[in-house]
Amino acid sequence: MKRFISLALLMSLAVLQGCASYSHNLQSEPTQWPLSSEKPTKAYLSVHAEYQLNDAAANSITNITALENLVKKDLEESGYFSAVTTQKEAADVYATVTLRNHEEGSMGLAFITGLSLFLIPGAFDNTYSVEMRFRDAEGNVIGKTSAQERVTTWMHLILLPAAPFARADIDETISILTKRALEKAIQEKII
């Protein structure tokens, strides 16, 4: 019977770990949305992603198509552009959007957290930044803007009940960053 209880406890510890992510809310929703444009502007959009773990660059596993669709939707909903395309064709403005995810945390602590079956908590911070570079119809750089947000994820056994509720929505975070960077570009009269 003791073996069964020990095995059940061990299996519970292996399966019942939890994570909770929260945003630091460095960026708020744009003050004026949708934006307005005095003249119809067609934009060409190019999207890239970069990932860095601590101070080492790593391969990004970001779904570029999904990220491109998310950014394109935000630019279309802004009301500033008459059309947004990802197809190579003539446009009034060429926007290159780069999503950077800089993840920081102790790999040793992550190992100890996993080894202890999440009894010892671990945490990682992700700093997401969206940088927009704008070029005119001739290809000349006319400016750049950026916005960033920090998301912390805690991993611990007792966070299991919080897991469904304590998730930072990364798509929503990226959307807010895109809107803020575009709003800055318009306020600074870059586009």
Q: Domain count of the chain?
A: 1
Judge whether 1 lies within some domain: no
Judge whether 9 lies within some domain: no
Collect all residues with Cβ–Cβ distance below 8 Å to 9 and sequence separation of at least 6. Answer: none
pTM above 0.75, yes or no: yes
Question: Considering the chain, what is the average pLDDT of its residues?
Answer: 86
pLDDT value of position 180? 93
pLDDT at 17 over 80: no
pLDDT at 165 over 80: no
At residue 121, φ and ψ (nearest 5 deg) are -75, 155
pLDDT value of position 147? 95
How far does CA 35 lie from the centroid of its chain? 22
Nearest to 27 by CA among 184, 189, 153, 190: 184
At residue 133, φ and ψ (nearest 5 deg) are -110, 130
Domain of residue 99 covers 18-187
Judge whether 113 lies within some domain: yes
pLDDT at 22 over 60: yes
Nearest to 67 by CA among 37, 101, 91, 92: 101
Judge whether 94 lies within some domain: yes
With beta carbons less than 8 A apart as the criterion, state whether 123 and 152 touch. yes
* More confident of the two residues 55 and 6: 55
pLDDT value of position 79? 87
pLDDT value of position 4? 77
Judge whether 8 lies within some domain: no
**Average pLDDT rounded to a whole number, residues 158-184:** 80
pLDDT value of position 97? 97
pLDDT at 13 over 60: no
Q: What is the pLDDT of residues 56-114, one digit of tens each?
A: 888 878 899 999 999 999 999 988 898 999 998 899 999 999 999 999 999 999 999 88
Domain harbouring 72, CATH code: 3.40.50
Judge whether 7 lies within some domain: no
Beta strands in the chain (DSSP E): 18-23, 42-53, 56-58, 83-85, 93-105, 122-136, 141-156
pLDDT at 15 over 80: no
Cα gap 6→12, rounded to integer Å = 10
Cα gap 154→102, rounded to integer Å = 16
